A and B are shown apart, each in its own frame.
Chain A
Amino acid sequence: MAKRVSLSGNEAVAFGMKQINPDVVAAFPITPSTEVPQYFSQFVANGEVTTEFVPVESEHSAMSACIGAAAAGGRVMTATASAGLALMWEVLYVAASMRTPMVLAVTNRALSGPINIHNDHSDSMGARDSGWIQLYGENAQEAYDNLMQAVRIGEHPDVQLPVMVCYDGFITSHAVENLEMLDDADVKAFVGEERKAPFALIGQEPVSMGPLDLPNHYFEHKRLQAEAMKNAKKVILEVAAEYEKLTGRKYGFFEEYKMEDAEAAIVLINSSAGTAKTVVDALRAQGKKVGLIKVRVFRPFPVEEIAEALKNVKAVAIMDKVDGFNAAGGPLFNEVVSAMYGKADGKIVQNYIYGLGGRDVTTYNFEEVYSNLFNAIETGKYEVYNYIGVRE
């Protein structure tokens, strides 16, 4: 039987990792992710897992050791945030291209500089094109559920890719919430006792991994990698369906909140969705047709599905908790708008950069955004590229 517990996001992830009992965890501390390796090393010290914990000297080595362990055939996990993820950057691409599945829990935190330990999405958004699958979660429950599903998605024979499980630093990582955890036995049954690698450094036949790939092969290998990311779309939904049978909790590429007849919609990622939903409820009570889309799967990006979900709105605000510094909009904005092209044309689209470096995001912010959208619908006048919650 599943059990109700009160845990922080980091605790939920660490306890989930304990239930999964991977072969290797290699990690390095960084706020606000530190608790994950701390809790996990305690499980190791108490003999509650059979995992080899590798307390590496940097995140670059954490990711390198994870690749080595996954290449050896193991089930592998790690956790990091912000500068730690940035330091992994070079080898993130290697993990994806070597097709070594593993799970990386990212507690989203602003990137330096200036140094700032609080939440925004600049870290994982900076790694969005590294070839990793990216799942985002609003709260501790979703972080836990995504962790479980990530193992299955990444290890699927048609995918074989590493997966990031992202949740907001402090807001989700440190706040204690009620959630439902699976039974240990159910976790074992769901993720499987062990990873089944198609080939590995430790295996029947010796293998060479990570060759020099010249122009006559490199492109084909990249093409295969891209295909795996496409395959992941189907697998993500299959795994979600199986998980729903087990838990009753439904997951897809994104969550649609009161979107059926919405005229004005917000699209965003992670914990701010909670605040935005209360605003949706309040405005709905006033008879305003507002809705919300919370993106769960950013890589692969659900292009057709997002366009379909937005095809009946009049105006949409896409909100980025990261700046693209391209003078033309954040990454979520660019993805959503290009998804809409030709499938949901003629809409008013706005981009809002919000909440950088842990700036509070309040109900007033969302009220303002919806009000701007309705204003734009009425007058036809609006700015595309906006900042909200910042002193100008």
Chain B
Amino acid sequence: MPNLKELSAKKVRLTGGHRMCAGCGAPMVVNWILKALKDDEKAVISNATGCLEVSTCLYPYTAWKDSWIHTAFENAAATGSGAEACYRAFQRKGKVNDTYKFIAFGGDGGTYDIGLQSLSGAMERGHDLLYVCYDNGAYMNTGIQRSSATPFGADTTTSPAGKVVPGKQQFRKDLTEIMVGHHIPYVAQSVPVIPGTKYMFDLYNKAEKAFSIKGAKFMNVLTPCPRGWRCDTATELDVVKAAVETCFWPLYEVENGVYKLNYKPAEKKPITEWLKLQGRFKHLLKPENEHIVAKIQEEVDRRWERLLELCGEK
């Protein structure tokens, strides 16, 4: 178990001088991932267009202490893969002595949707790169439009809850499983650090493990966006906790093809525990929409049971 005191003493690689909304989960996720780097390791970070990118590097300022590059929305993986290829060429020619780690950050839009091809290509090619998706469940930067990561029923600006259609009508894509299908050395699903939980250091531990493995790695991190989720910034981590406790967002990892469940709630909470904390699901809790909630519960259960089997928990 990592020592919190030691970890808080580690240098901050994404500084506070950025313009993310107060309470945004993305910089928390980034900083905990970067804490897992060793102090003498340098990083090259590739960032997809999105909230994290537009808010952390506004000319002439940057909040990044490591080398960072943004080129476009759908190509953080390809851009990072090029930098990593260059590093290998430099190493071969004896042009570089420092140890570099290559990391890509993309939102769910930049990863599940428009960047899926670029991600798939880079992972299949086996670049020594950790791709981290901070999944906040919508295109937040452009004003909360639905993505293929948006949960069923969510009210977004392109899947609005209207008089006839009650929000998004599709279940979210299971990107973590798609990445498992790439048979890369390491795939993990995680959440930000939530003090007081058994999985408080889940994110840190997984990042540390990922950095110790050579090759393509992928982490999918459920990341709160109080603006898009319409939840309270003060209690947003309770929302994430509810995602874990309801098994909407299970914590697991797949190392060299072997599944491991990292946390199994003693008692699985009903999905309403996750839905009721967020304004984007408010309409679902009306009595006439009970059947929709039942449908969501059914899908959560189905996916959870399947995962238990894969993890050898059944």
Contact = CB atoms under 8 A, between A and B. Distances in A.
B82 A26 contact: yes
Contact of B58 (A203, A206, A212): A212
A211 B70 contact: yes
Given A58-B121, A94-B72, A64 B86 contact: no
A267 to B, nearest CB: 36
A68 B121 contact: no
Contacts of A24: 82, 85-86, 89
A201 B69 contact: yes
Given A64-B75, A65-B79, A211 B62 contact: yes
Chain B CB count within 10 A is highest, among A24, A58, A66, A73, for A24
A187 interface: no
Contacts, number: 162
A72 interface: yes
A55 B85 contact: no
Interface residues of B, number: 47
Given A52-B86, A57-B120, A210 B69 contact: yes
B119 to A, nearest CB: 10
B285 interface: no
Contacts of A26: 82, 85
Contact of B42 (A68, A70, A206): A206
A61 B71 contact: no
A54 B89 contact: no
A69 B74 CA distance: 17
A217 B54 CA distance: 15
B46 A68 contact: yes
A56 interface: yes
Given A56-B121, A61-B117, A202-B83, 7 more contacts: A56-B78, A57-B118, A68-B71, A71-B79, A206-B67, A211-B57, A214-B59
Interface of A: 23-24, 26, 50-52, 54-58, 60-62, 64-74, 76, 90-91, 94, 98, 194, 201-203, 206-214, 217, 221
10 contacts: A24-B86, A57-B120, A57-B121, A68-B46, A68-B83, A68-B85, A206-B65, A208-B57, A208-B67, A212-B53
Closest 8 CB pairs of A and B: A68-B82, A65-B82, A57-B121, A61-B78, A64-B75, A210-B70, A64-B78, A208-B62
